[in-house]
Amino acid sequence: MSAVLTETNLFKPITIGNGIHLSHRIVHAPTSRSRSTNDGENFPTDLMIKYYDSRSKFEYSLIVFESCLVSPRSGLVPFKSGVFTTEQCEALKKITDKIHENKSFVSCQIFSPGRVSNIQLVKDKGLPYLAPSVIYHAEGHKITAEELNYPLKELTINQIHDIQEDYVTAAVNCLTKGGFDLVELHGTSGFLIEQFLSPISNTRNDEYGGNLENRCRFLIEIITKFIDHPQIGSSKFGIRLSAWSIHFGMNYPEDKYPINDTYPPLLFCQYILNHLEDLKKNGKEIAYVSIMEPRVSGSFDQDPDGKSNSSLVKAWSGKLIRAGGYATNYKGDPSILKSNNPNVKITKDGEVEHYSSLKQDINADDRTLIAFARPFTSNPDLVHRLKNNLELDLYERPFFYSHQLEGYLTFGNYVDENLYSNTLQFPIDELKREGISLKSK
């Protein structure tokens, strides 16, 4: 028999930040589900209270809340919550209060879409459509910008500084008004921070572009501002990075960028981690670094061949959250999922050993946590299932970003190994309904 997860570090308590005591090392990864409002106001909805309530029931868990918008002038998309107004934060507090009632903790991931903004939305609001450089992430966006006569513009230095201040305000809002315990800077998935970090999207020739140091400046300066701010400070925030995400146009042509020690995303991740490690040595350790495994990009599995996070793991000695394809024990055929394959071992006796990557990574040191996204969508009681070695229900991708209750609140807790979906019953009107804004009337 392979070791059960309770015999690994996964169920060993750990403390992150300043006194956030967790009873285990399973983290709810940031998982945007497009259940916030589409009314131009970017408010969370009642559906989200129920979702996060069920996912935080296991006491002393850490939830990383889905990405929230930093400010209108750094870009907007619909169906996402914002953290730029007091009202939005008061609405989000209805969710964080629920998580705290369950004795769990919550970190808010903050981001700006920049060049991947919804162009119609920013145009309608008379907002600028901006990015580090005038490089569209997709042909479709370029065409839309042309059709709307609303082209992408390069950020001026003043605009860059304004947006950095927006990040500070957003973080303070989360911590002081939204009830969040921590804030997470979203440094991947092709959003604004990565648009600065990457040579693919940043061809500026001022101090915010060009060489590696300049491309990292936007993020490094935000880190400094956070650390120096009396209402934030190093222990109150984490950072998410990935060297392998190709999400939103971050594709590196193999002929120009072969995967070796000079692969640009590996270099910018290392640069940031070296900086964070120096800060740690100087008594300014941030709460955590979150990285994504090479077998995943965004919400999709990808081929991890030739790619490794080992240099990143070595570069940072603080608390480390790793995510990506760690769950394997789904009901039915274990080879059904691509990401299972490298993680499921068949032992000499023909026995299937689940969670082999998880066991290896969680036991490699005493500071790693493992985050899950897709498994949490279909298993609200994921922590309980992992603890009790129970099989998981398979997620349903068509509902990831749909806006209604169905596929969001319809997955129940574990009932039976033979039940393929523990579908909770709702009247049809309720199933099709979108969330009601949590904005106070």
Ligand X SMILES: Cc1cc2nc3c(=O)[nH]c(=O)nc-3n(C[C@H](O)[C@H](O)[C@H](O)COP(=O)(O)O)c2cc1C
Closest distance between ligand X and the C-beta of residue 69, in Å?
Answer: 11
Closest distance between ligand X and the C-beta of residue 113, in Å?
Answer: 11
In DSSP terms, 292 is beta-bridged to 323
Closest distance between ligand X and the C-beta of residue 252, in Å?
Answer: 19
Q: Check: CB of residue 66 under 8 Å from CB of residue 31.
A: yes
Closest distance between ligand X and the C-beta of residue 99, in Å?
Answer: 17
Closest distance between ligand X and the C-beta of residue 33, in Å?
Answer: 6
Instruction: Give the tokens for residue 288.
Output: 């955590």
Which residue's CB is nearer to ligand X, number 132 or number 190? 190
Question: Which residue type sits at 297?
Answer: S
Instruction: Give the tokens for residue 138.
Output: 């997709």
Closest distance between ligand X and the C-beta of residue 349, in Å?
Answer: 28
Residue 328: partners with Cβ closer than 8 Å, 6 or more residues away: 334, 337, 340, 343, 344, 354, 355, 356, 358
Tokens 């400070």, residue located: 233
Closest distance between ligand X and the C-beta of residue 346, in Å?
Answer: 21
Which residue's CB is nearer to ligand X, number 29 or number 175? 29
Question: Which residue type sits at 25?
Answer: R
Closest distance between ligand X and the C-beta of residue 315, in Å?
Answer: 19
Which residue's CB is nearer to ligand X, number 66 or number 166? 66
Which residue's CB is nearer to ligand X, number 121 or number 239? 239
* DSSP assignment letter at 393: P
Tokens 């001026």, residue located: 156
Which residue's CB is nearer to ligand X, number 109 or number 173? 109
Alpha helices in 240-397 (DSSP H): 264-281, 310-315, 356-362, 374-378, 382-387
Tokens 């129940």, residue located: 412
Q: How far is CA 216 from CA 132, 140, 229, 268, in A?
A: 12, 28, 20, 7
Closest distance between ligand X and the C-beta of residue 180, in Å?
Answer: 15
Residues 127 and 375: their CA atoms lie apart, in Å, by 37
Which residue's CB is nearer to ligand X, number 91 or number 323? 323
- CA angle, residues 380, 370, 94, in degrees to nearest 5: 45
Which residue's CB is nearer to ligand X, number 57 or number 80? 80
Residues 53 and 102: their CA atoms lie apart, in Å, by 7
Which residue's CB is nearer to ligand X, number 209 or number 340? 340
Which residue's CB is nearer to ligand X, number 210 or number 304? 304
Residues 420 and 408: their CA atoms lie apart, in Å, by 16
Instruction: Give the tokens for residue 1.
Output: 């028999």
Which residue's CB is nearer to ligand X, number 145 or number 188? 188
DSSP notation for 132-187: SSS--SSHHHHHHHHHTT---EEPPHHHHHHHHHHHHHHHHHHHHTS--SEEEEE-
Instruction: Give the tokens for residue 184.
Output: 């997470």
Which residue's CB is nearer to ligand X, number 30 or number 178? 30
Residues 132 and 213: their CA atoms lie apart, in Å, by 15
* Burial class of 396 by CB neighbour count within 10 A (0 to 12, 13 to 18, 19+): middle
Closest distance between ligand X and the C-beta of residue 206, in Å?
Answer: 28
Residue 285's SS3 state is coil
Query: What are the residues binding ligand X (CB under 6 A)?
Result: 29-33, 66-67, 109, 186, 189, 240, 292, 296, 298-299, 323-325, 339, 372-375, 400
Closest distance between ligand X and the C-beta of residue 267, in Å?
Answer: 20
